[in-house]
A and B are shown apart, each in its own frame.
Chain A
Amino acid sequence: MILTDVLGSDVVDNSGQRLGEVSDVRFAVDASPGQLLSKARMVGIVVSPRTASSFLGYERRGITQPWPVAQLLRWRHRGSFLVLWEDIAVIGPREVVLRPGFTAYESTLAF
């Protein structure tokens, strides 16, 4: 499976209710050491209710300029949240199903 298979697919909760689309996949570079860096470990997916388009870098809280562009992209992605790998039940060909009682984390990055 490659990232393109996941990006843009619908996300539903266990009752089949549509929550949004996969607009990003988060990785942490903290797994077992590789040749140069550690290997990347998938942390979870970012679900955006309205659009699967890119955040263009504005998922980071510190990036606020140019102001109108930042506002526009934040507004487009309003209500988006991060779901951890552990809370994903199935990544199917059409849609991603979440486990019951999943936790929606803040999707913005701190730096």
Chain B
Amino acid sequence: MKRLLGVALGILTAIGGFVDIGDLVTNAVVGSRFGLSLAWVVVIGVLGICLFANMSGRVAAVSGRATFEVIRERMGPRAGLANLGASFLINLMTVTAEIGGIALALQLASGVSYMLWVPFALLAVWLVIWRVKFSIMENVTGLVGLSLVVFAVALFLLKPDWGALAGQAFTPSVSGEESVGAYWYYAIALFGAAMTPYEVFFFSSGAVEEGWKVKDLVQSRINVLMGFPLGGFLSIAIAACAAVVLLPAGISVTTLSEVVLPVAQAGGQLALAVLILGIVAATFGAALETTLSSGYTLAQFFGWPWGKFRRPAAASRFHVAMMVVLLAGVAVLATGVDPILVTEYSVVFSAIALPLTYLPILIVANDPQYMGKHVNGRAVNVAGLVYLVIILVASLAAIPLMIATGAGA
């Protein structure tokens, strides 16, 4: 019974933890502009993150090494440092976006400008990272974040033409209003949002934090294989809500206040309240994860002691790094830059940096010196290579498409 509860808890937190500001915004933007015609990208992205999260979790459980330790060891100091630089910058962008997301959601709840909420969000994130136990932090934000299921409920309440939605999803085409370039640009953005590298840094470091052993792998596999696809389903529900309400009304999403309109229309103030709670929890959880991820990547690269299982004094540089990242994120927001814009760029840059994270994981997961008999099987390797090709193509196409389409305008 207790085990079953543990499994259920794991799945639920994985669902709630899957959606962050990147998924929220990108899916709503895509839904409002392209309908469900990019739903296939979410499916590909979710399968990819399942594959690589599993792989990195297995590497962490078997070898006791988190992803960035692996990158440092396998790529050497120089290529590793370049990788660290890129990953860290993208992480910083994502931290900025998530804190902005918390503040924007609180603005929706209160009507008070998000700028005034930013310091509050910063303080809350830092306090939780400093004081709260890893497992509690994960489970609470994950479970509360689950209230984003209200998107799926809203979709049913909207009584959409299911046939038309399915038609958009299964026979994708670019509508007359939009350019083919923008379509592919957002395909890459969605892919980056689903596969953001921080999820893997966090997942593998979390495995070390929680002291996973090989026997825990089954549980983690269930969490990932059930939770992430359900999270992906939630992403598609977000896009579908936008496709049903906003697309026909000629509204293309540029702000969080537009993202919530379909849910309010479907379920009224109650649904809206649940949704805002969900957004705060999801972005807060993701802010914790990304902040920790930047601490993890830095500490793992430089060999500092890291982890929330240590007292802050015993992992001082790890904690200082996270404080600096949080302050840097807030400094970026203080310039008045639109957090939604930061979000949109962060997911595309994530897509660009994907090979840097996923190639080393794939290589080490095949290395018997790390993995013993737990090296990748043949099927996993074939899938991993297929994804490596997709990731490379997305990564190489991202910048040219960004320039050609004016960032999807």
* Contact present for A66 and B385 (CB under 8 Å): yes
Give the chain B neighbours of A65 by CB distance below 8 A.
366, 375-376, 381
Picked from A4, A53, A66, the residue with its CB within 8 Å of the CB of B366 is A66
A68 with B366, Cβ < 8 A, contacts A4-B77, A4-B78 known: no
Q: How far is the CB of B363 from chain A (nearest CB, A)?
A: 6
A56 in the interface (beta carbon within 8 A): yes
A63–B370 CA distance with the chains assembled, in angstroms: 12
| Min CB gap B276→A, angstroms | 45
Inter-subunit contact A66/B362 (CB<8 Å): yes
B363 pairs with A54, CB closer than 8 A: no
Within 8 A of B (CB), among A51-95: 53-54, 56-57, 60, 62-63, 65-69
- B248 in contact (CB, < 8 A): no
CB contacts (< 8 Å) of A68 on chain B: these are: 385
Asked if A69 and B363 sit within 8 Å, CB to CB, the answer is yes
Residues of chain B within 8 A (CB-CB) of A60 are 369
Binary interface profile of B, 332-367, with partner A (CB < 8 Å = 1, else 0)? 000000000000000000000000000110111011
Instruction: Name the distance in Å between B325's Cβ and chain A's nearest Cβ.
Output: 27
Partner of A57, one of B78, B79, B367, B375: B367
Contact of B375 with A53 in the complex, beta carbons under 8 Å: no
- Output the least CB separation between A108 and chain B (Å): 15
Q: How far is the CA of A62 from the CA of B79 in the complex (A)?
A: 24
Bound complex: CA A67 to CA B384 (Å): 11
Q: Answer whether A69 and B362 are a contact pair too, CB < 8 Å, given A56-B74, A57-B74, A57-B367.
A: yes
B6 within 8 A of A: no
Docked CA distance A54–B82 (Å): 13
Contact with A along B141-155 (1 / 0, CB 8 A): 000000000000000
Of all chain A residues, the one with the shortest Cβ separation from B370 is A57
Residues of chain A with a CB closer than 8 A to B385's CB: 66, 68-69
Q: Is the C-beta of B111 less than 8 angstroms from some C-beta in chain A?
A: no
Interface-centre pick from A56, A66, A68 (highest chain B CB count, 10 A): A66
Residue of A nearest to B76 (CB): A54
**CB-defined contacts of A54 to chain B, threshold 8 Å:** 74-76, 79
Q: Is the CB of B363 within 8 A of A56?
A: yes
Whole-angstrom CA separation of A34 from B376 in the bound complex: 36
Does B268 have its Cβ within 8 Å of any Cβ on chain A? no
Question: In the complex, A7 Cα to B80 Cα: how many Å?
Answer: 14
Chain A residues with CB under 8 Å of B75's CB are 54, 56
Nearest chain B residue, comparing its CB with the CB of A53:
B79
Give complex CA distance A86, B360 in Å: 34
Q: How far is the CA of A56 from the CA of B367 in the complex (A)?
A: 11
Residues of A near B74 (CB, < 8 A) are: 54, 56-57
Taken together as a complex, chains A and B put the C-alpha atoms of A27 and B266 apart, in Å, by 67
B368 within 8 A of A: yes
B79 A63 Cβ-Cβ under 8 A: no
CB distance from B237 to the nearest CB of A (A): 35
Closest to A62 in B: B368
Complex contacts, B369 vs chain A, CB 8 Å: 60
Q: Which residues of A contact B363 (CB under 8 A)?
A: 56-57, 66, 69
A62 to B368, CA, bound (A): 9
* A53 CA / B80 CA spacing, docked (Å): 11
Chain B residues near A67 (CB-CB < 8 A)? 381
CA distance A69 to B375 in the complex (A): 15
B76 touches A66 (CB 8 A): no
Of the candidates B359, B360, B366, which one forms a contact with A63 in the assembled complex, judged by CB atoms under 8 Å apart?
A: B366
Q: A62–B375 Cα gap in the complex (Å)? A: 13
| B388 / chain A contacts, CB cutoff of 8 Å | 69
In the assembled complex, the CB of A73 is this many whole angstroms from the nearest CB of chain B, namely 9
Residues in chain A near residue B376, CB distance under 8 A = 65-66
Say how far B359's CB is from chain A's closest CB, in angstroms: 8
Can you name the residue of chain A whose Cβ is closest to the Cβ of B378?
A65
Which 8 A-B pairs rank lowest in CB-CB distance, beginning with the nearest? A65-B366, A54-B76, A66-B381, A66-B385, A56-B74, A57-B74, A56-B363, A57-B367
Q: List 13 A-B residue pairs with CB atoms under 8 Å apart, sorted by A's residue number.
A: A4-B77, A53-B79, A54-B75, A54-B76, A54-B79, A57-B363, A65-B366, A65-B376, A65-B381, A66-B385, A68-B385, A69-B362, A69-B385
Interface of B toward A, CB cutoff 8 Å: 74-79, 359-360, 362-364, 366-369, 375-376, 381, 384-385, 388
Please give the residue numbers on chain A whose beta carbons come within 8 Å of chain B beta carbons, in ascending order.
Answer: 4, 7, 53-54, 56-57, 60, 62-63, 65-69
Apart from A56-B363, A66-B385, A69-B359, 15 more pairs, CB < 8 Å: A7-B78, A53-B79, A54-B75, A54-B76, A57-B363, A57-B367, A63-B366, A63-B367, A65-B366, A66-B362, A66-B376, A66-B381, A67-B381, A69-B362, A69-B363
